[in-house]
Structure 1
Amino acid sequence: MTVGAGIGVADGKLMVLGNCVLRDVKENVIVTAASGGALANGAFIGVVSDQIGSRRIFPIGKLEGLRFLCVFRFKLWWMTQRMGNRGQDIPFETQFLIVEARDDSSTIDDESKGGMDQSALYTVFLPILEGDFRAVLQGNEHDELEICLESGDPTVEGFEGSHLVFVAAGPDPFDVITNAVKTVEKHLQTFCHRERKKMPDMLNWFGWCTWDAFYTDVTSEGVKQGLDSFANRLTHIKENHKFQKDGKEGHRVEDPALGLRHIVDEIKDKHSLKYVYVWHAITGYWGGVKPGVIDMEHYESKLAYPVSSPSVQSNESCDCLQSITRNGLGLVNPEKVFNFYNELHSYLASAGIDGVKVDAQNILETLGASHGGRVKLARNYHQALEASISRNFPDNGIISCMSHNTDGLYSAKRTAVIRASDDFWPRDPASHTIHIASVAYNTIFLGEFMQPDWDMFHSLHPMAEYHAAARAVGGCAIYISDKPGHHDFNLLKKLVLPDGSILRAKLPGRPTRDCLFSDPARDGKSLLKIWNLNEFSGVVGVFNCQGAGWCRVGKKNLIHNEHPDTITGVIRAKDVDFLPRVADDRWCGDAVVFSHLGGETVYLPKDAAIPITLKSREYEVFTVVPAREVCNGVRFAPIGLIKMFNSGGAIKEMNYKDEKSTSVVLKVRGCGVFGAYSSARPKRIIVDSEEIEFEYEEGSGLVTVCLRVAEDELYLWNITYEL
């Protein structure tokens, strides 16, 4: 039986392009080809069953002896990664799974020979939404892959079951994932891929968040008060008492000089701020909207008590959810929720606010009872939210947060930015390496829907450089939560230009292909490499993340090795998976690699590698540039602003005048030391029609010039190299 041009069940095996991925496939499993111009090597998996119920589990087949990576929800709100090679290693609430199959003649060591394993086949499993039900994956003790199907409403029990998981395969893992999500997009027609969404401009500018800056003095009483605060409910759509100098909790002072508009106008004017975002929960506040409050009755809020999925409960209990469950949540009538959002957002917009961070989104999945189920409730809320954002914040000003469930991801047509992991925890030593690894692996899945947000961090912190380097390769916004006066400006200058703009990479930063199935947090031998693209180069961040991870036994983040080993790995040009897309058609595969901390410039022939050795919690950032030979035989590669983490992000245009010319013309943003590789000393360098002095290192080929601070915002320097 062949379905999906190469995916089907035959002799009890799920065969994918000639490779067996699952064995002992159950007889009630059905495979349906994707239709309507969908991915050729893709198909839907479903089940035939006469069972009904709001929660059902269906074994599919055995997964044995194949390496996999999955991302799963270890909390109600957040996902993290897990690697393994058998079905029982797959956790509850797995929302994304990629499995590696190989030709019988190949081995894992083949990757080290050419820098990229050409024999591997990557199979992606995407559990999706069908009607009022949501599917996720999990493993059992018999190494069987199971589908867990839930509606979230005891009265919603009937399901079709034919399109529960989409399966796709191919030789390039990143292309397979992207094409699989785009196929599901066409099938469901309820969400849009990231590439079709408008990115808010705030991503391109440095920011500051007030959260960690002030919420820091933690005591036992403070913890109690903090938990109690999760039960607080919204009593008005305007600013609360904290913004009213003379206001008390539950009361407002109607004085424009004390209100939000006055504060926003003042800080925008005084500090030349471009954007101000504010926080609210998807239900208004942590405890929702208080029923029966004057001026709020028309939202028809009713007290509801969350019921979370048994799968979520089995992974980790949540103090926040327990508080809300104990006290109840004031849930706005889904038919009135657009009016609620629109009134809230129109008021904020009138006060000069440019966007919102919408938190606690996954709480909706616990409130589906009596609302037609979790999928229906989430979709109603997300459609209303996005309609209000579109009306009130024209730059698509929204950050999605605490939102790692497929109920929301497969219902988001406009939202373009998503927090990609649990919080930055400045005081938790176990959290820092975990944070970097989790964001990177979560982004493999989340990055198909939205641009990842790596969360705030402290610039003055023992792990500040580590966090900063990761964000520089993450393609994300850069914002800190420093206390006033507690800053490391030398570090910030590696991320931010004097005009406040940042050198943001183009894509969501993801682990390199050779890191997909190794565990850089737990295996004691692997480094984490994260790649991204600029207009004319790639960037790779390398991190030693060993020593800490989420413990499936203790159900929390733990340091399992206080003194992880020093680890050696390699860097190749092919680590930047899409590098050929920004190279010339005649590119031969040679590249120039510049190390940020080491300050070394290396010419790297095609398929060659250079070693990188990192101690625990160390990092390095490499700029990788395709090299080109001009007509006189000189090889050239522009690197960028070499004092900044993402050097190549400064280069916005590059032109070789013609095939017979020895001149290269660049347009460059920013200031400081600009570096390029040239195999011979340039004859001269011209910046904005003025010939300038430069330095040239004969041994490495590094040529540098100094660019002054431009007077105009986002100014582009014209730099001509005559070779």
Structure 2
Amino acid sequence: MSVDGVGLRVVGVELIFIDGSRESCVFAGAEAGRYVYRCASATLSIYVDGGLVGIDVDSVKLLNSMFFAELVLDLGVVGRVLALTLHPEAGSIYSPAFRYYNPLAVDREPTAPKPDDNPIYPPRFEAIDHGTFVSRFPCWTYPVVTSVESIPSYTIFTLARAGDSYIAILALSNGDATAYIGSGSRVRLFIGRERYTVGRSWILSIGVSSDPYRAVEKCTEGAARIGILKLRIDKKLPKFVNRFGWCSWNALLTEDLSHENVVRIVKGLLDRGVPIRWIIIDDGWQNEVRKGVEWFIRVLRDLSANERFPKGLNGLVDEVRNLGIDHVGLWHTINIHWGGFEEAVSRRLGVEGYRFPRADSYVPPPQIEKAIEFYSRFYRWVRDNGFSIVKVDNQWSIHALYWGGYTVGEASRNIQIALQVGASINGLEILNCMSMAPEDYSNYFLSNAMRVSMDYIPFWKGDAKLHTLFSIYNSLLFSHIAYPDYDMWISYDPYAKIHAVARVFSGGPIYITDRHPEKTDVELIRKLVLDNGETVAVSEPGLPTRDTLFRDPYNEPVLLKVASRVGDTYALALFNVNREGIEISEDVTLDILPYKLEGERYAYYMVFSGRKGVIGRGDRVAVSLRELETEIVVIAPVEEGKAVIGLKEYILPPYPIEIGRYGSKVYVKSKASGTLVYLLGGEFKEMAVEKDQIAIL
């Protein structure tokens, strides 16, 4: 069979039944894009539509309620593979770091020993059973450069070469099933309920192209064609994405979150000239009850804030709005709280909950009509308290919440539809979190901003390296689905500069989580934000460069690079995230950019070192960075001997300017006052400009 023009060989098909028995299926014929495989007890059909692969099953024996089928595929992939995996072992290094550094950020004693600044990554990926997988909160994907034979289980995306082509494979949740990719391109299919039949379920979207970026783009386009998913470019920009924000999480955690502390910090930041325009009230506002010893068995007791908010949530919202904040967001989980909610909550909303025995609580109902009613009423309450943003956490859990009662495809689709519809009709924007699982990203038809990495950990050198690495490689895929959120960060973190540069290239929201406004690095923030709170950022989410797609900058002596553009000007960020901390020198060329360049000559300008020059298509520019150093290279086309770099006071000089050309003249309008850097007559020059001034070159 052929998938998107490339031969696909089905090496094996196996069905798994409720009693644990397995049967291998053999090919029984094909007709009009349907390939039939039969075993003693069942028939599995494979469907191919362009780059899409789907299945259905008809069985006389009950299928396993977890993994009911395995397919082994061969697309002729050779060499290195970039895999994004949900395997939770990749995040194991973070547990002690959370318990050491998060308390330090809120002026408390650590509850764990200091973790290694140079942790081993990637780990050894062992086979794990599904119960273990679910118990370890598999919500983040981690990039791994490996071989086909060593793809970790629970991988959701791969990019590899096959001959002269690149092949991108995306696992989907659709119909009844969710797919995962594993070693040897083995695809395992999860259903979540005992069934005799599995309806048509599109399990993979495959993109093939001579260009790796186009291959990734095609696999996401295919996913959008058969499901409810809409791609980022087809959805509206969330109102908070291009404004500077603040979140309470690392500033206050749960114990210190209060009306008084939020107002103190917000006022302190504004008084120091930090133009925050939106904030998020994160976890810790709830009137809750604990139903177990585990931290996550926290259940919402009532639809109200706790005693640390004496004026209620709306009182806090009113006060920060009066200070000048435009939008206020409220955190909650997809099941309203980590362990769900008490019956009193659903009674107050006047809707029905769904029983969740593990926490002796309730969660939103998975039936579509009831789910829409539930979220619509819950979000009406959120809106009536003055909020205009919701941060929705713990979204991966819809994989497990309805296990046994509904198929995973049906439950996740219904919950995600209801959540997005409920938020939309109440005028709320969504920031998605803990949602890098197929059940979530396959169903984002309105949501258009999502976290693309494990949590930021303050003050940890290991996180500065790995968080940057994870975010950039994950964005190769997820930037097509939503605006990538690289998470909050503290401006007085010793590694704040590298965090700031990465977020400027994210194309998503930029927001801090400072606890002490008096420590806030105002000078750094002024390089990132205009006076009106508008963030200085790239025009579209940055992508890892061509030369790094199949490299490992953490373990190999190569610089991590991400590229994007601002209008017609290109921008390249380089980071030294090497685990051993060695200095790395490289020659940078234009052909590593993820774009097809039109011009022959370009002016380049290095933001931090001030180096500048002119390069052609075949020229090289030497860059050398020590451990955790970063550099930004602005690359502007030279036309008729002129090129405009931008305002050198900003971390991304081209952002605060608008360029127009007419005849031999170049007109530059500035959004801010500063020093304009440009090339004219073969020389780099500088000119002082004022806000809204038009300079003529």
TM-score class, shorter: 0.7 to 0.9
Question: What's the offset of the Cα at 1:33?
Answer: 6.1
Q: Which amino acid aligns with 2:660?
A: N
The equivalent residue for 1:357 is 391
8 Å contact 1:530–1:542 — kept in the other structure? yes
Q: Which amino acid aligns with 1:366?
A: A
Does structure 1 residue 98 correspond to structure 2 residue 98?
no
1:403-552 pair list within 5 angstroms: 403-485=435-517, 486-523=519-556, 525-547=557-579
Cα gap change, 1:293 to 1:489, in 2 (>3 Å) = closer
Q: Which amino acid aligns with 2:71?
A: F
Question: What's the offset of the Cα at 1:241?
Answer: 3.1
Distance in 2 of aligned mates of 1:217 and 1:240:
11
Distance in 1 of aligned mates of 2:621 and 2:32:
46
Give the secondary-structure state (helix, strand or coil) at the position aligned to 2:562.
Answer: strand
Cα gap change, 1:173 to 1:267, in 2 (>3 Å) = same
Does structure 1 residue 44 correspond to structure 2 residue 44?
no
The equivalent residue for 1:564 is 581
8 Å contact 1:33–1:42 — kept in the other structure? no
Q: Which amino acid aligns with 1:608?
A: D
Question: What's the offset of the Cα at 1:579?
Answer: 6.0
1:598-677 pair list within 5 angstroms: 598-629=609-640, 635-652=641-658, 654-658=659-663, 661=664, 663-677=665-679
Cα gap change, 1:296 to 1:350, in 2 (>3 Å) = closer
Question: What's the offset of the Cα at 1:328?
Answer: 5.3
- Cα deviation 1:597-618 (Å, max 9, x = unaligned): 1111110112312111112211
8 Å contact 1:97–1:126 — kept in the other structure? yes
The equivalent residue for 1:583 is none
Question: What's the offset of the Cα at 1:294?
Answer: 7.9
Distance in 2 of aligned mates of 1:147 and 1:43:
14
Does structure 1 residue 122 correspond to structure 2 residue 166?
yes
8 Å contact 1:591–1:624 — kept in the other structure? yes
1:162-201 pair list within 5 angstroms: 163-188=202-227, 190-201=228-239
Cα gap change, 1:215 to 1:598, in 2 (>3 Å) = same
- Cα deviation 1:441-485 (Å, max 9, x = unaligned): 111111111000010001101111010111111112111001132
Question: What's the offset of the Cα at 1:209?
Answer: 0.9
8 Å contact 1:458–1:481 — kept in the other structure? yes
Cα gap change, 1:656 to 1:28, in 2 (>3 Å) = farther
Does structure 1 residue 578 correspond to structure 2 residue 595?
yes
Cα gap change, 1:28 to 1:357, in 2 (>3 Å) = farther
Does structure 1 residue 145 correspond to structure 2 residue 185?
yes
8 Å contact 1:466–1:618 — kept in the other structure? yes
Question: What's the offset of the Cα at 1:424?
Answer: 0.4
8 Å contact 1:342–1:392 — kept in the other structure? yes
8 Å contact 1:594–1:623 — kept in the other structure? yes
Distance in 1 of aligned mates of 2:456 and 2:568:
31
Cα gap change, 1:136 to 1:269, in 2 (>3 Å) = same
Distance in 2 of aligned mates of 1:608 and 1:121:
27
The equivalent residue for 2:145 is 83
Distance in 1 of aligned mates of 2:240 and 2:293:
31
1:74-473 pair list within 5 angstroms: 74-75=87-88, 76-87=138-149, 89-102=150-163, 120-139=164-183, 144-153=184-193, 155-156=194-195, 158-159=197-198, 163-188=202-227, 190-215=228-253, 228-244=294-310, 258-270=311-323, 272-292=324-344, 295-296=347-348, 298-304=350-356, 327=359, 330-335=362-367, 336-393=370-427, 397-473=429-505
Q: Which amino acid aligns with 1:678?
A: L
Give the secondary-structure state (helix, strand or coil) at the position aligned to 2:233.
Answer: helix
Question: What's the offset of the Cα at 1:290?
Answer: 1.2
Question: What's the offset of the Cα at 1:63?
Answer: 6.6
Q: Which amino acid aligns with 1:400?
A: N
8 Å contact 1:30–1:46 — kept in the other structure? no
Structure 1 residue aligned with 2:689, among 707, 715, 720?
A: 707
Distance in 1 of aligned mates of 2:403 and 2:10:
41
Distance in 1 of aligned mates of 2:28 and 2:505:
45
Distance in 2 of aligned mates of 1:204 and 1:232:
34
Give the secondary-structure state (helix, strand or coil) at the position aligned to 1:159.
Answer: strand
Q: Which amino acid aligns with 1:42?
A: G
8 Å contact 1:29–1:45 — kept in the other structure? no
- Cα deviation 1:21-58 (Å, max 9, x = unaligned): xxxx9968989869xxxx99735376989683331322
Cα gap change, 1:46 to 1:518, in 2 (>3 Å) = farther
Distance in 2 of aligned mates of 1:592 and 1:516:
25
What's the TM-score once normalised by structure 1's chain length? 0.75
Distance in 1 of aligned mates of 2:462 and 2:200:
41
Question: What's the offset of the Cα at 1:273?
Answer: 1.5
- Cα deviation 1:370-413 (Å, max 9, x = unaligned): 432222111111111111111112xx511000001111111110
Question: What's the offset of the Cα at 1:348?
Answer: 2.6
Cα gap change, 1:168 to 1:657, in 2 (>3 Å) = same
The equivalent residue for 1:560 is none
Cα gap change, 1:638 to 1:297, in 2 (>3 Å) = closer
Question: What's the offset of the Cα at 1:427?
Answer: 4.3
Give the secondary-structure state (helix, strand or coil) at the position aligned to 1:78.
Answer: coil
Give the secondary-structure state (helix, strand or coil) at the position aligned to 1:233.
Answer: strand
8 Å contact 2:355–2:362 — kept in the other structure? yes
Give the secondary-structure state (helix, strand or coil) at the position aligned to 1:628.
Answer: coil
8 Å contact 2:8–2:75 — kept in the other structure? no
Distance in 1 of aligned mates of 2:236 and 2:477:
19
Distance in 1 of aligned mates of 2:562 and 2:656:
19
Q: Sequence identity of aligned pairs in percent?
A: 24
Question: What's the offset of the Cα at 1:9?
Answer: 4.1
8 Å contact 1:231–1:286 — kept in the other structure? yes
Distance in 2 of aligned mates of 1:162 and 1:210:
41
| Structure 1 spans left out of the alignment, 5+ residues | 14-24, 103-119, 245-257, 306-324, 548-562, 581-586, 630-634, 681-700, 711-715
8 Å contact 1:459–1:482 — kept in the other structure? yes
Question: What's the offset of the Cα at 1:265?
Answer: 2.0
Distance in 2 of aligned mates of 1:625 and 1:227:
57
Superposed CA RMSD in Å reads 3.0
8 Å contact 1:528–1:545 — kept in the other structure? yes
Q: Which amino acid aligns with 1:177?
A: V
8 Å contact 1:200–1:397 — kept in the other structure? yes
The equivalent residue for 2:696 is 720
* Greater share of strand: 2
The equivalent residue for 2:115 is none
Distance in 2 of aligned mates of 1:130 and 1:45:
9
Give the secondary-structure state (helix, strand or coil) at the position aligned to 1:398.
Answer: strand
8 Å contact 2:4–2:208 — kept in the other structure? no
Cα gap change, 1:200 to 1:387, in 2 (>3 Å) = same
